[in-house]
């Protein structure tokens, strides 16, 4: 959360669990935070991208604004998945003091609307991440976090896994062209389990929205595989017939 010269509601915020996929890892975008520890020494940890909503701002708009400011992207898959309102979620003195120092307001409780977002890491603009002290971290091995943001990531991952079985949202994490093997690897990493190659290929190729291209891989040690594309228009046309992937 950041301070700005604008009218904010200091008790309602949005926090975004931004997932990305790279080098066979599911990653989450985190922001480094500086704060004074209980001994008055400068310390650092990490937090999720988030902000207080403006007085007259819609929650979804606040989440979209936060994402654009951080990544430079304005057309990102974004889904609200939970509201966190435990009165103890910002009870640590270091968190309370950090909120007060960054806003100048006597904040003691914040309810946050949590969203998860999916982006292709290569599409994000580095200058935005650098400016905001943001970095990609392994979702299975992230560092110490502020507030209850570890729980937000855990719950966000659960919702991502459930959504992946019912909607073709994994394509948001891949480049425009990908192989079936790359797609299967993405599913295995998110679902955290090995999938049968033949069964996966059979089910995924039955979908009407996966389009095979004429182009193949080049410069690989194995037999070159065809590239595929996700056809969103076809999916929108036939999604009533799509029953999900029960891998």
Domain ranges of the chain: 8-166, 176-241
Question: For the residues of 213-245, what is the DSSP string, one character each?
Answer: EEEE--S-SSPPPEEEEE-HHHHHHHGGG----
* Report field, pTM of the whole predicted structure over 0.85: yes
Helix (H) or strand (E) holding 43: strand 42-47
CA distance 95 to 243: 44
- DSSP state at residue 24: T
CA nearest to 110, candidates 95, 89, 135: 89
Select the CATH number that applies to the domain covering 8-166 from these four: 3.30.1380.10, 3.40.47.10, 3.90.79.10, 1.10.357.10.
3.90.79.10
CA distance 141 to 27: 9
pLDDT in tens, the chain (247 residues): 444 457 999 999 999 999 999 878 999 999 999 998 888 899 999 999 999 999 999 999 999 999 998 888 888 899 999 999 999 999 899 999 999 999 999 998 999 999 999 998 888 777 777 788 899 999 999 999 999 999 999 999 999 999 998 888 999 999 999 999 999 999 999 999 999 999 999 988 888 889 999 999 887 778 889 999 999 888 888 777 766 777 6
How far is residue 122 from each of residues 20, 149, 181, 185, 215, measured CA to CA in Å? 9, 25, 19, 18, 21
Query: Which three-class secondary structure state does DSSP give residue 183?
Result: helix
CA distance 219 to 154: 38
CA distance 144 to 45: 6
How far is residue 20 from each of residues 79, 162, 169, measured CA to CA in Å? 15, 17, 12
Q: Domain spanning 176-241 has what CATH number?
A: 1.10.10.10
71 neighbors 18 (Cβ within 8 angstroms): yes
Helices (H) and strands (E) in the chain, counts: 7, 9
Tokens of 76: 């990102």
């Amino acid at each position: 959360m950041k301070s700005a010269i604008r009218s904010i509601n200091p008790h309602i915020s949005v926090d975004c669990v931004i997932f990305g996929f790279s080098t066979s890892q599911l990653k989450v975008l985190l922001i480094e935070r500086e704060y004074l520890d209980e001994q008055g020494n400068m310390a650092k940890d990490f937090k999720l991208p988030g902000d207080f909503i403006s007085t007259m701002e819609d929650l979804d708009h606040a989440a979209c604004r936060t994402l654009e400011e951080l990544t430079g992207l304005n057309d990102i898959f974004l889904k609200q998945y939970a509201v966190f309102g435990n009165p103890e979620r910002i009870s640590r003195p270091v968190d309370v003091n950090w909120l007060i120092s960054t806003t100048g307001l006597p904040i003691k409780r914040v309810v946050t609307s949590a969203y998860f977002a999916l982006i292709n890491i290569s599409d994000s603009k580095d200058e935005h991440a650098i400016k905001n002290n943001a970095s990609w971290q392994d979702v299975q091995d992230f560092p110490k976090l502020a507030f209850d943001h570890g729980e937000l990531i855990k719950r966000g991952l659960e919702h991502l896994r459930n959504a992946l079985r019912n909607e073709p949202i994994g394509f948001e994490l891949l480049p425009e062209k990908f192989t079936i093997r790359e797609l299967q690897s993405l599913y295995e990493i998110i679902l955290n389990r090995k999938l049968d190659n033949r069964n996966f290929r059979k089910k995924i190729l039955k979908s009407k929205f996966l389009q095979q291209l004429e182009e193949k891989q080049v410069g690989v040690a194995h037999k070159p595989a065809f590239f595929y594309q996700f056809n969103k228009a076809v999916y929108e046309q036939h999604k009533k017939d799509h029953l999900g992937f029960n891998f």
